[in-house]
Structure 1
Amino acid sequence: MKIRRVVAGTGADGKARVLSDGVAPRSVEFTTLPGHGAALLWATEAADTVGAGTASDRTGEAGFAPAAGGTRVMMVTFPPDAVMMRADFDAAAFSAEAGRLVPGLAETFEPDHPGMHTTDSIDYDIVLEGEITLELDDGAQVLLRRHDVAVQHGNRHAWRNLGDKPATMLFVLVGARRTGGGA
């Protein structure tokens, strides 16, 4: 997944400027699930600041899920679910690959319930291309189309591409502290 990322900030002289312009450095393509890719576009931590010379690029060191007060911006392309239903699909190999390619997020997925996961974050989920279904643990399924937005509050969910074309989404995760019981 080659996504252009332009980073602007404030130089030491107090003037706004482009600090970097190029391919997002943390883009991955899965070999075990053709058509599935992800790009971590930017990451912040709770202690990050803004101002002259403070645009630290943390994408190379950050996990894909933020801690409380941190943020993550990522783009993900989901192939149709039919790709995962192939007779030769190796779920164990896919899980291992996800652990290497999207650390921090891969660990939130439930092995006994494929696709279901929970993150300690407020998520802003925007469909850029295609259609995708948001599945909740109460069985509700919500079809989202291009430019639809879902906002999630640390709830258990899965993304299902029930169509025959890839779906691409932009995710903004804001790390939060979990209160009350339950995942």
Structure 2
Amino acid sequence: MANQDQLSILKLQGSNAWNIWRSQNPDIEPDLAGADLSKCDLSAANLFHADLSNVNLSSAKLSKADFRRAYLNGANLSSAELMDANLSSAEMIASNLSKANLLRVDLRWANLSRANLDEANLTAADFRRANLAEAIITDEQLKEVHSLAGATMPDGSKYA
């Protein structure tokens, strides 16, 4: 369950206050698991290594947010705006990213196994070394990505 003090800073005070709090508390790993952050504007938020398991971020504004090494397993990011966000090395197992805007998103080394990417905009996204095993994604979407080098594909094969 989410830490209510941390959730209040992020949800009520916004990204700027949150980023200040993060810089003042560099050793704390945020616990926002299960929180409802749908439709929130968290653009440029520092969510590095945060626990966002089962969080609701549907229709949230997350452009330029830092999700490196974050835990987003089971998260709902449907219709979220993630342009230019950094999700490298994020755990996103069984997450819902349907209809999300992932324009220029960094997903290198991310684990997206069993993730739903149906109708997501993947234009110029970087999936190098990402795990897409059993992900819901079309070949047409994959044609739009920047790189798939070394990625594990939905059928379990490795992209050369």
Which structure shows the higher helix fraction? Answer: 2
Could you say which structure has the greater relative contact order, defined with CA pairs below 8 angstroms and 6 or more residues apart?
1
Q: Which has the larger radius of gyration?
A: 1
TM tier, shorter chain?
under 0.3
Length-normalised TM-score, structure 2: 0.27
Larger strand proportion, structure 1 or 2?
1
